[in-house]
């Protein structure tokens, strides 16, 4: 294996691990965070950064080809759509009068 191949693999491994880490943290966040808004935030993070990093790692691993272009297109799509979905969800919840969780009312926020 040449040096560049080793470097490419290392970069792609680091990116993949970053993505997996964000997915893990996002999933824990969805399960553990107290109210709708923070959970939406966690889910969006996990989608955007997690999927983005994993896709970038695949692109790096693949080198320059048409497939890489497709992967980059998918990554762009994810980077655009996932935050938008988070925005739409949070906005819809806020408009329908869901109040954010605060320290004062521990039972509040939900429902």
- Which residues of the chain form contacts with another protein (CB under 8 A)? 77, 80-81, 84, 87-88, 91-92, 95
**Nearer CB in complex with another protein: 7/73:** 73
Nearer to another protein, 24 or 88 (CB): 88
Six-digit token string for 36: 């709708």
Q: How far is the CB of 85 from another protein (least distance, A)?
A: 9
Output the smallest distance, CB 12 to another protein, in A.
Answer: 18
User: How far apart are CB 47 and another protein at their closest, in Å?
Assistant: 13
Residue pair 89/47 in contact (Cβ under 8 Å)? The answer is no
> How many CA within 13 A on the CB side of residue 54?
13
Rounded-to-integer distance, Cα 20 and Cα 11, Å: 14
The residues, ordered by sequence, that sit 6+ positions from 72 with a Cβ below 8 Å of its Cβ are 55, 59
Residue number, 19 or 86, with CB nearest to another protein: 86
């Amino acid at each position: 294996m040449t040096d560049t191949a080793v470097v490419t693999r290392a970069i792609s491994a680091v990116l993949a691990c970053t993505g997996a880490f964000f997915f893990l943290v996002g999933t824990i966040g969805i399960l553990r965070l107290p109210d709708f808004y923070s959970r939406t935030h966690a889910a969006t993070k996990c989608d955007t950064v997690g999927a983005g990093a994993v896709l970038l790692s695949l692109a790096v691993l693949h080198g320059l080809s048409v497939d890489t272009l497709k992967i980059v297109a998918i990554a762009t799509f994810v980077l655009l759509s996932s935050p938008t979905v988070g925005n739409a969800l949070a906005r819809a919840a806020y408009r329908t009068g869901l109040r954010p969780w605060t320290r004062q009312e521990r039972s509040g926020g939900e429902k």
